[in-house]
Amino acid sequence: MHVVSVNVGLPRVHTWQGKFVRTGIFKDPVAGPVAIRQLNLDGDAQADLTVHGGRDKAVYAYPAEHYDGWQVALGRELAPGAFGENLTTEGLIEKQVCIGDEFRVGTARLVVTQPRMPCYKLGLRFGDPGMVKNFLKVGRPGIYFAVVEEGVVAPGDSVERVVEDPRQVSVTAMLALMIDKNPDPDDLRRILEVPALAADWRQGFQARLDG
């Protein structure tokens, strides 16, 4: 597993559906090395901190393996960072990665917290309001990380799994729980046992379990 591209970008204003929208979803590849901090990468920021960024969404990775399928579906070439990811990776696939797994990425240590649930700004990024629905439908959400140890990362750096969470709730399985209107209570209990689970989703899953 390795990093294909490191992508950062600062918020900018775009026009979308007749309104001015400030967004940080546009990311551009950089040569690196780039410092990974507790809340983001150097040179990167989010526009709306009420729903983006924060400790549980400090770093977003998206698999390079998904790009070919998207390029065929969308009928266009896509550059790394097209999905707003900080790290375009190879070998780091959602169904093979579990919430709570820890990885050494460059010299940083990261822990998996959640899959991505896209907002309307993904539609803005692609100029297609249906993109959010399509993104969820294909089940390729990418992976959010919190930072356990700060460090630096550059294209070509290795990605090494250093801890496997024993609950074995994959990123794909958590996405299914998010979407499922009637999740199995045992599945909810299992994911709530994962210490690294993102705080907002912990609260949501607990509320659903409590009924």
**Hey, what domains does the chain have and what are their CATH numbers?**
2-210 (2.40.33.20)
**Model's pTM, two decimal places?**
0.96
Tell me the average pLDDT of the chain.
Answer: 95
Beta strands in 24-142 (DSSP E): 28-30, 34-36, 59-63, 87-90, 102-105, 108-115
pLDDT 10s digits, 47-89: 777 777 889 999 999 999 999 999 999 999 999 999 999 999 9
Residue 36: Cβ within 10 Å count: 28
Q: What is the pLDDT at residue 186?
A: 95
Q: What is the pLDDT at residue 70?
A: 97
